[in-house]
Amino acid sequence: MRIQDFHFFLFAFVLAVGSALGQESAGSWAVTAQSRYQVSPNVTYLVENNYEDKVDIYQRRNAAGPQPTVLYIHGGGWTGGTKEGAFMAVMPWLEMGWTVVNVEYRLARISPAPAAVEDCLCALKWVVSHASQYHIDPSRIVTSGDSAGGHLALMTGVTPAEAGLDRECASSEGNAPLPKVAAIVNWYGITDVVDLLDGPNRKTYAVTWLGSMPNREEIGRRVSPLTYVRPGLPPILSIQGDADPTVPYAHSLRLREALNKAGVANELVTIPGGKHGNFTAEERTRIYAAVHAFLEKHGLPAEVK
């Protein structure tokens, strides 16, 4: 993401905020925003298959000390999407004052499963190893994402070291322990990949991600958040519409049931009649009220001044 691209996106952000607050001049908001935020675009955190995985890092210029940080992971069924396309989804975190690390990963056309999971785990390890450079608080890292990004946010937060999915990380981070995140905010993410490979819930995007591997069900279980539910996980907030045609709503229900049995703090925000995102303004107001309450409940700042 080029600096000028960031300014375009940020202008859209401040225009929206400025309109909401009744500001007369969107231009004055753009000027203020450029003095308030800084970006480190397209920072390479991993090279695999001759492909450079990159992140964009957004920070407040007046931030003092280590900051609470969200790793945001874009959706797209592991087959499409970009970190730049997820900018609208990270704007609320910027508005809350959080540092944002906007993550890209290898899509199916570059590397099939479990590459996307491996990349996101490596992104987490990279962020922690570079925490002092970017004023990040390693004890206050939240993962979040939508759809396939929700799945990857879950996997980044629940995968144990013994799963061996972080072995592809760069040598500087490869031997470091797998960090523990403070919380997970999952927007309608897949929790059982095997469920999407065949039968009534079969989804083309899942089949594409797993390809024609003879052991695809084994790999599917290995990259499914439900496989790793156990006591001691970070608190998890899930958000989903109960009429989602892309990711079965049952995935959120099954995750909630498994987390409850394991004694893991969790909440599910259900949007009655809600589809795969595209929630109304009123629904989003309700969702972000729940996100704020969830963060505060678990000792994380909903707003950073």
Residue 96: inside a domain = yes
Give the distance from CA 234 to its chain's centroid.
14
Q: Is residue 20 part of a domain?
A: no
Q: Which domain holds residue 74?
A: 39-297
Instruction: Give the per-residue SS3 of the chain.
Output: CCHHHHHHHHHHHHHHHHHHCCCCCHHHHHHHHHHHEEEEEEEEEEEECCEEEEEEEEEECCCCCCEEEEEEECCCCCCCCCCHHHHHHHHHHHHCCCEEEEECCCCCCCCCCCHHHHHHHHHHHHHHHCCCCCCEEEEEEEEEEECHHHHHHHHHHHCCHHHCCCCCCCHHHHCCCCCCCCEEEEECCCCCCHHHCCHHHCCHHHHHHHCCCCCHHHHHHHCCHHHHCCCCCCCEEEEEECCCCCCCCHHHHHHHHHHHHHCCCEEEEEECCCCCCCCCHHHHHHHHHHHHHHHHHCCCCCCCC
Tally of structural domains, the chain: 1
Residue 304 placed within a domain: no
**Does residue 11 fall inside a structural domain?**
no
CATH number at residue 71: 3.40.50.1820
Q: Does residue 31 register a pLDDT over 70?
A: no
Token code pair at residue 194: 């095997």
pLDDT in tens, 221-255: 999 999 999 999 999 999 999 999 999 999 999 99
Q: What is the mean pLDDT of the chain?
A: 90
Tens-digit pLDDT profile for residues 72-90? 999 999 999 999 999 999 9
Residue 147 has pLDDT above 70, yes or no: yes
Backbone angles phi, psi at 175, to 5 degrees: -90, -5
Residue 91 pLDDT exceeds 70: yes
Residue 65 burial (CB count, 10 A): 6
pLDDT at 267 over 90: yes
Structural domain includes residue 21: no
Tokens of 3: 């600096």
pLDDT of 63 > 80? The answer is yes
Tell me the average pLDDT across 148-168: 96
For residue 180, pLDDT beyond 50: yes
Region of poorest pLDDT, from 115-124, 172-181, 182-191, 294-303: 172-181
**Residue 264 in domain:** yes
Residue 7 confidence (pLDDT) above 70: no
Q: Is residue 239 part of a domain?
A: yes
78 in a domain, yes or no?
Answer: yes
pLDDT given at position 171: 61
Mean pLDDT on 262-276: 98
